[in-house]
A and B are shown apart, each in its own frame.
Chain A
Amino acid sequence: MSALRILVPIKRVIDYAVKPRVNKTQTGVETAGVKHSMNPFDELSIEESVRIREKKSAPGGVEDICVISAGPTKAQDVLRTAMAMGADRAIHVEVKEGDDLEPLSVAKLLKAAAEQHKSNLVILGKQSIDDDANQTGQMLAGLLGWPQATQASKVEFGEGDSVTVTREVDGGAETLRAKLPLIITTDLRLNEPRYASLPNIMKAKKKPMEKKTLADFGITAERRLKVLGVTEPPARQGGGKVDDVDGMVAKLKELGAI
């Protein structure tokens, strides 16, 4: 079996524990001064790649784990985190803050990257929690002409480049088998991401990080979609509190419920 060369695309997003706020012009979400971290699904991708190596679950072994992120300079922070978790090297594609790429552009970029770096397995988060598109993995599979297994909850390797993936579907699990090269997108039950240890955080600083631009991959940030407006969901109507049974009965009567 061929040795695995895994490509793991990751994205820097608003930390999922932070409540996002719509900006004043209602064109997007306020990002300035808001805590950002790695897209939680992407942590699963990295964890899975590192586990495949550590557990020696692939017969051909893991030759390379490369993480890639397109975004502002700050995206390098999440790339460092990924390397602290166990990735070997990183590619940062500089994209100006605000010039967000659409899923198709990202997929085109990843196609070029996978070809340049001779990847035979791409593990992506099933979606990023900021725009929830859930498209990039699928588009990438289409562009590359590779098989895809989305929403993976278990990944196993067999003889002759075959990979068995259990995926989460409505009402249960579905098991697929495909051959490398392959696209996998991760779902929550796949694993539990590790904490980056201090020694590894320090080592990660010395791991190589290539700095690229979109042009290096022959891509332009073309926009096909236009955001017309972004609004907060309607505020929940607050409930009332009653002091006792009499109060409740009175309230129900007032509302015409009894």
Chain B
Amino acid sequence: MASRYPLTPGITRLARRVPIELGRHHALPRVQRQQSSLARAAATAVRCFSSSRPRQLQQTQQRCANNTKFTSETYPEIKRDGRFATITADHVSYFRGLLGTESAVIDGVTSDSAADDLEPFNSDWMRKYRGHCKLVLKPGSTDEVSKILKYCNDNMLAVVPQGGNTGLVGGSVPVFDEIVINLSRMNQIIDFDEVGGTLVAGAGCILEVADQFLASKGYIFPLDLGAKGSCQIGGNLSTNAGGLRLLRYGSLHGTVLGIEAVLPDGTIVDDLCKLRKNNTGYDLKQLFIGAEGTIGIITKVSIQCPQRSTAQNVAFFGLESFEKVQQAFREAKGQLSEILSAFELMDEGSQALIRDVTKNRKPLDDKYPFYCLIETSGSNADHDSEKLQAFLEDVMEKGIVSDGTLAQDETQIKALWAWREGITEALGHLGGVYKYDVSIPLKEMYQLVEDTRARVDAAGLLGDTDDHPVRAVVGYGHMGDSNLHLNVSTRRFDKRVEEVLEPFIYEWIEKRQGSISAEHGLGLQKKKYIGYSRNPTMVGLMRQIKTFFDPNGIMNPYKYL
């Protein structure tokens, strides 16, 4: 009885349904592979589009990186800031002495042999940005981070803090020869309060590892996103990542209770508060959340984790129009209220691309212009599924939903999620992607995709054949948070595409008082466009804050503001 060993049915089924993800199974963090349930590991891989770096992806990265243009070539208008010193052998020997172990320093300054080892730290996973970094430091403690930053600040050496390097706007890779400070060694889970649910962990802790630790205690990390197998929680905080659970658990600005950070002058900001309530003075930790490493480096995190729901249900359905999607959303909020944990939107275009790449069996027989995925989480499976069934019957009868399916088991839950979470990866397989992560009032949310598609088409760039640089203009996103991901999938780089898209999209969003970056941040890509979403007074105040914390400007230069 004990042996449920032939878990093969699931694996083979998964293999058929999600070949790509299974192929990447090896790229999961070690902890996960140790799980006795292989099937679960394979299934979780569905949610992972990047790998734990730098080990496994290194080879592909190198191969691709060679084709990737240097950021400094793509953006010739960005000039290296002459105030910054160039790294010398003396600097390197200081860092070697400081960090001790051989593996904590990847040195391309005094020898050329490390060039390959540096590549993964120099480029982003989308192969859009590539820097000239010659030195990577991997501190193992807050004290080491402090000493590194103080030395860099004193010697005018620019730095780029880096976590899992899964960002989408080029914020975590250097532009010129900035030193990369990678936090992957600071990956300890330091403390967990089993009664209160407060987790304290090092910034380099991988999100999925933290979540699995919490799962064993009956809790859940209040953040979940596609890159969870690679991204680090310090990076999540620095970019104020949103993700799939925001609808239910709110943003990191609410769930983070405290942080420990290091300022450029080496000052350790110890605000590792574990209290939910603390009205004493300015809430300075909020400045670090979403600062993208421009004012300091987050080294530890204290976060409030909610109880993990024991019962989860997932439904997936097809709808005829965006009008109906909105109706379904309203009904879902009304009828599912407290158990609704995700309401995700996908258009047919995005699903067609996944089908092309994965060849998976599609959940519904027919095609519909829109698909939605609803997830409920609660404590009582029977109660939830009764509610969900009643809701589904209701929206079917009212004709809001044309067809749909309800996951019957865990495998189906994961397979259905793959149709939403796998979009980013599928697009990545097909070539370059222009990604816009925007927030627009719900009513007009999908209009942006239609207007953009029409514009690209009118310019003669969109088509099914190789003559056209653009393969598809698709939209998907977190309906529950009014957050749309507009993706333009291209066959090759073509300057005309960018000219058609920008600043058109930003102006479109500005007119509707939307945000040009809902959850991805500014990084390098959106630095110039902050003005579309923030007024000059706000930007001015931000600049003052930056100067206050980082008077020498060594922290993640050329980006953000």
Interface residue from B1, B16, B317 paired with A131 (Cβ < 8 Å): B1
Instruction: Write out, one digit per residue, whether chain B residues 370-413 have a CB within 8 A of any chain A CB (1) or not (0).
Output: 00000000000100000001001100100001011111111110
> Which residue of B is nearest A80, CB measured?
B408
> Which residue of B is nearest A197, CB measured?
B405
Residues A192 and B37 in contact in the complex (CB < 8 Å), given A16-B7, A197-B403: no
Q: Which residues of B contact A132 (CB under 8 A)?
A: 3-6
Minimum C-beta distance from A219 to chain B (A): 22
Chain A CB within 8 A of B534 CB: no
Q: Which residues of A contact B10 (CB under 8 A)?
A: 16-17, 40
Q: Decide if B2 touches A29 in the complex (CB within 8 Å).
A: yes
Chain B CB within 8 A of A28 CB: yes
Q: Decide if B7 touches A129 in the complex (CB within 8 Å).
A: yes
The interface size of chain A toward B, counting residues with CB under 8 Å, comes to 46
Residues A17 and B401 in contact in the complex (CB < 8 Å), given A22-B2, A198-B392: no
User: A236–B34 Cα gap in the complex (Å)?
Assistant: 8
Q: Decide if B6 touches A127 in the complex (CB within 8 Å).
A: yes
Q: Decide if A198 touches B6 in the complex (CB within 8 Å).
A: no
Q: Decide if A14 touches B4 in the complex (CB within 8 Å).
A: yes
User: A14–B10 Cα gap in the complex (Å)?
Assistant: 13
Q: Which residues of A contact B104 (CB under 8 A)?
A: 243
Q: Decide if A35 touches B381 in the complex (CB within 8 Å).
A: yes
Q: Interface with A: B280-288, B360-368, B513-521, which one?
A: B360-368
Chain A CB within 8 A of B537 CB: no
User: A41–B364 Cα gap in the complex (Å)?
Assistant: 22
Q: Which residues of A contact B103 (CB under 8 A)?
A: 243-244
Interface residue from A130, A193, A247 paired with B1 (Cβ < 8 Å): A130
> Which residue of A is nearest B312, CB measured?
A35
User: A230–B4 Cα gap in the complex (Å)?
Assistant: 12
Instruction: Write out, one digit per residue, whether chain B residues 111-140 have a CB within 8 A of any chain A CB (1) or not (0).
Output: 000000000000000000000000000000
Q: Decide if A16 touches B39 in the complex (CB within 8 Å).
A: yes
Q: Which residues of B contact A197 (CB under 8 A)?
A: 364-365, 403-405
User: A238–B2 Cα gap in the complex (Å)?
Assistant: 22
User: A15–B43 Cα gap in the complex (Å)?
Assistant: 13
Q: Decide if B411 touches A198 in the complex (CB within 8 Å).
A: no
Residues A16 and B4 in contact in the complex (CB < 8 Å), given A192-B13, A198-B392, A244-B101: yes
User: A199–B364 Cα gap in the complex (Å)?
Assistant: 11
Residues A40 and B102 in contact in the complex (CB < 8 Å), given A33-B310, A192-B361, A199-B403: no
Interface of B is mostly: mixed
Q: Which residues of A contact B414 (CB under 8 A)?
A: 17
Interface centre among A29, A132, A232, A236 (most CB of B within 10 A): A132
Q: Which residues of B contact A227 (CB under 8 A)?
A: 1
> Which residue of B is nearest A189, CB measured?
B12
Chain B CB within 8 A of A81 CB: yes
Minimum C-beta distance from B407 to chain A (A): 8
Interface centre among A20, A230, A232 (most CB of B within 10 A): A20
Q: Decide if A38 touches B408 in the complex (CB within 8 Å).
A: yes
Q: Decide if A40 touches B403 in the complex (CB within 8 Å).
A: no
Instruction: Write out, one digit per residue, whether chain B residues 24-68 have a CB within 8 A of any chain A CB (1) or not (0).
Output: 000000000011110110010000000000000000000000000
The interface size of chain B toward A, counting residues with CB under 8 Å, comes to 51
User: A127–B54 Cα gap in the complex (Å)?
Assistant: 42
Q: Which residues of A contact B406 (CB under 8 A)?
A: 196, 198, 201
User: A15–B409 Cα gap in the complex (Å)?
Assistant: 7
User: A243–B104 Cα gap in the complex (Å)?
Assistant: 8
Q: Decide if A18 touches B405 in the complex (CB within 8 Å).
A: no
Q: Decide if A19 touches B36 in the complex (CB within 8 Å).
A: yes
> Which residue of A is nearest B7, CB measured?
A16
Q: Which residues of B contact A199 (CB under 8 A)?
A: 396, 403
Instruction: Write out, one digit per residue, whether chain A residues 13-44 have a CB within 8 A of any chain B CB (1) or not (0).
Output: 01111111010000011000101011011000
Minimum C-beta distance from B551 to chain A (A): 35
Q: Decide if A188 touches B12 in the complex (CB within 8 Å).
A: yes
> Which residue of A is nearest B406, CB measured?
A201
User: A20–B37 Cα gap in the complex (Å)?
Assistant: 9
User: A130–B2 Cα gap in the complex (Å)?
Assistant: 8
Residues of chain A in range 114-152 having any CB-CB distance to chain B below 8 Å = 127, 129-132
Minimum C-beta distance from A54 to chain B (A): 12
Instruction: Write out, one digit per residue, whether chain B residues 242-268 have a CB within 8 A of any chain A CB (1) or not (0).
Output: 000000000000000000000000000
Chain A CB within 8 A of B8 CB: yes
User: A35–B40 Cα gap in the complex (Å)?
Assistant: 14
Residues A129 and B6 in contact in the complex (CB < 8 Å), given A16-B410, A37-B410: yes
Interface residue from A19, A131, A198 paired with B403 (Cβ < 8 Å): A198
Minimum C-beta distance from B363 to chain A (A): 5
Interface centre among A132, A194, A197, A244 (most CB of B within 10 A): A197
Residues of chain B in range 350-367 having any CB-CB distance to chain A below 8 Å = 361, 363-365
Known: A38-B409, A196-B406. 14 other contacts (CB 8 A): A16-B410, A17-B409, A37-B410, A40-B13, A130-B4, A189-B12, A192-B16, A195-B364, A197-B364, A197-B365, A198-B401, A199-B403, A232-B2, A244-B102
Residues of A that sit less than 8 Å from B by CB? 14-20, 22, 28-29, 33, 35, 37-38, 40-41, 81, 127, 129-132, 188-189, 192-199, 201-202, 227, 230-233, 236, 238, 243-247
- 13 example contacts (A-B, Cβ-Cβ < 8 A) are as follows A16-B39, A16-B411, A17-B411, A20-B2, A37-B408, A81-B408, A195-B363, A195-B408, A196-B406, A198-B404, A198-B406, A227-B1, A243-B101
Residues of B that sit less than 8 Å from A by CB? 1-10, 12-13, 16-17, 34-37, 39-40, 43, 101-104, 310-311, 315-317, 361, 363-365, 381, 389, 392-393, 396, 401, 403-412, 414
